[in-house]
Chains A and B, each alone.
Chain A
Amino acid sequence: MPSNTASSSSAPAGSSKSKRPKYSKFTQQELPACKPILTPGWVILTFLVISVIFIPLGVVSLFASQDVVEIVDRYDNDCVPTPARANKVAYIQGGSDKSCNRTLVVPKKMKQPIYVYYQLENFYQNHRRYVKSRSDSQLRSVKDENQIDACKPEDDVNGRPIVPCGLIAWSLFNDTYALSKNNQPLTVNKRGIAWKSDREHKFGKNVFPKNFQEGNITGGGRLDANKSLSEQEDLIVWMRTAALPTFRKLYGKIESDLEKGDTIHVTLLNNYNTYSFDGKKKLVLSTTSWLGGKNDFLGIAYLTVGGICFFLALVFTIMYLVKPRRLGDPTYLSWNRVPGGGR
Chain B
Amino acid sequence: MAGERRHKGMRLSKLYSFKCLKPFSKEDHSQIGSRGYSRVVFCNDPDNPEALQLNYRGNYVSTTKYTAANFIPKSLFEQFRRVANIYFLVVAFVSFSPLAPYTAPSVLAPLLFVIGATMVKEGVEDLRRRRQDIEANNRRVLVLSKNGEFSKTKWKNLRVGDLVKVHKDEYFPADLLLLSSSYEDGVCYVETMNLDGETNLKLKHALEITSVEESSIKNFRGGVIKCEDPNEHLYSFVGTLHYQGQQYPLSPQQMLLRDSKLRNTDFIVGVVVFTGHDTKVMQNATDPPSKRSKIERKMDKIVYILFSILIVIAFTGSVFFGIITRRDVTDDGKKMRRWYLRPDRTTVFYEPRRAVLASFFHFLTALMLYGYLIPISLYVSIEVVKVLQSIFINQDQEMYHEETDRPARARTSNLNEELGQVDTILSDKTGTLTCNSMEFVKCSISGTAYGRGMTEVELALRKQKGMSMRPQDDEIKANPTKSVKGFNFWDERVVDGQWINQPNAELIQKFFRVLAICHTAIPDVDGESGEISYEAESPDEAAFVIASRELGFEFFARSQTHISLHEIDHVSGEKVDRVYELLHVLEFSSSRKRMSVIVRNPENRLLLLSKGADSVMFERLAKHGRQFERETKEHIKRYAEAGLRTLVIAYREVDEEEYRIWEEEFLNAKTLVTEDRDALIDAAADKIEKDLILLGSTAVEDKLQKGVPDCIEKLSQAGVKIWVLTGDKTETAINIGYACSLLREGMEKILITLDSPDIETLEKQGDKDAVAKASFQSIKKQLREGMSQTAAAATTDDSANEKPEMFGLVIDGKSLTFALDKKLEKEFLELASRCGSVICCRSSPKQKALVTRLVKTGTGRTTLAIGDGANDVGMLQEADIGVGISGAEGMQAVMASDFAIAQFRFLERLLLVHGHWCYRRIAMMICYFFYKNLTFGFTLFWYEAYASFSGKPAYNDWYMSCYNVFFTSLPVIALGVFDQDVSARLCLKYPLLYQEGVQNILFSWERILGWMLNGIISSMIIFFLTINTLASQAFRKDGQVVDYSVLGVTMYSCVVWTVNCQMAISINYFTWIQHCFIWGSIGVWYLFLVIYGSLPPTFSTTAYQVFVETSAPSPICWLTLVLVTFSALLPYFTYRAFQIKFRPMYHDIIVEQRRTERFESGTRTASAVSGELPVQVEFTLHHLKANLSRRDSWN
Contact = CB atoms under 8 A, between A and B. Distances in A.
Do A and B make up one complex?
Answer: yes
Contact of A240 (B392, B1044, B1150): B1044
> Mostly helix, strand, loop or mixed at chain A's interface?
loop
A16 to B, nearest CB: 12
Contacts of B952: 126-128, 131
B406 interface: yes
A29 B392 contact: yes
A115 B396 CA distance: 68
A250 B947 contact: no
State which size class the interface on A falls in: 35 or more
Contact of B1149 (A61, A319, A329): A329
A34 B407 CA distance: 29
A59 B345 CA distance: 52
B1169 interface: yes
A71 interface: no
A244 B1032 contact: yes
B1151 interface: yes
A242 interface: yes
A337 B1041 CA distance: 70
B948 interface: yes
A247 interface: yes
B1042 interface: yes
A328 interface: yes
Interface in B1032-1082: 1032-1048, 1065, 1068-1073
A256 interface: no
Contact of A243 (B397, B951, B1047): B1047
Interface in B866-921: 917
A308 interface: yes
Given A35-B1068, A292-B1033, A292-B1036, A131 B398 contact: no
A250 B1040 contact: yes
A136 B1096 CA distance: 10
A337 B797 CA distance: 14
B1044 A126 contact: yes
B801 A127 contact: no
Contacts of A242: 1041-1044
Most A C-beta atoms less than 10 A away, residue of B947, B1035, B1126: B947
B1117 to A, nearest CB: 10
A57 B1119 contact: yes
A55 to B, nearest CB: 12
A35 B1151 contact: yes
Interface in A123-157: 123-131, 136-137, 140, 152-154
A295 B1153 contact: no
Interface string A238-270: 001111111111100100000000000000000
Contact of B741 (A40, A202, A298, A342): A342
A85 to B, nearest CB: 17
Contacts of B1041: 117, 242, 247-250, 293
B392 A325 contact: no
A202 B1104 contact: yes
Nearest to B1050: A243
B67 interface: no
A332 B1182 CA distance: 10
A167 B1156 contact: no
Nearest to A141: B1098
B339 A54 contact: no
B684 to A, nearest CB: 47
B397 A127 contact: no
Given A276-B339, A340-B744, A20 B805 contact: no
B1126 A54 contact: yes
B1044 A37 contact: no
Given A33-B1069, A46-B1133, A340 B1151 contact: no
Contact of A337 (B802, B1114, B1144): B802
B139 interface: no
A289 B947 CA distance: 29
Nearest to A325: B1174
Contacts of B1155: 37, 39, 327-328
A243 B1044 contact: yes
Contacts of B395: 21-22, 27-28
A123 B340 CA distance: 9
Given A38-B1137, A244-B1047, A277-B337, A332 B1037 contact: no
Interface in A59-77: 61, 70
Given A113-B1039, A335-B992, 9 more contacts: A21-B395, A125-B1044, A140-B1098, A240-B1043, A242-B1044, A292-B1037, A295-B1029, A327-B1156, A342-B710
Q: 5 tightest A-B contacts by CB?
A: A328-B1153, A293-B1033, A328-B1152, A293-B1034, A243-B1047
Interface of B: 101, 335-342, 345-347, 349-350, 391-392, 394-398, 400, 402, 405-407, 464, 709-710, 713, 716-717, 741, 744-746, 801-802, 805, 917, 946-948, 950-952, 954, 978, 980, 983-984, 988, 990-993, 1025, 1027-1029, 1031-1048, 1065, 1068-1073, 1096-1098, 1101, 1104-1105, 1109-1110, 1114-1116, 1119-1120, 1122-1123, 1126-1127, 1130, 1133-1134, 1136-1137, 1140-1141, 1144, 1146, 1148-1156, 1169-1170, 1173-1178, 1181, 1185
21 contacts: A27-B392, A28-B395, A35-B1069, A37-B1068, A124-B950, A126-B946, A128-B950, A130-B340, A171-B339, A240-B1045, A249-B1041, A276-B337, A286-B1034, A292-B1037, A294-B1033, A301-B1028, A302-B1119, A305-B1123, A328-B1151, A332-B1173, A335-B1181
Interface of A: 1, 4, 7-8, 15, 18-23, 27-40, 43, 46, 50, 54, 57, 61, 70, 89, 113, 115, 117, 119, 123-131, 136-137, 140, 152-154, 167, 170-171, 193, 195-197, 201-202, 219-220, 240-250, 253, 273, 276-277, 286, 288-295, 297-298, 301-302, 305, 308-309, 312, 316, 319, 323, 325-343
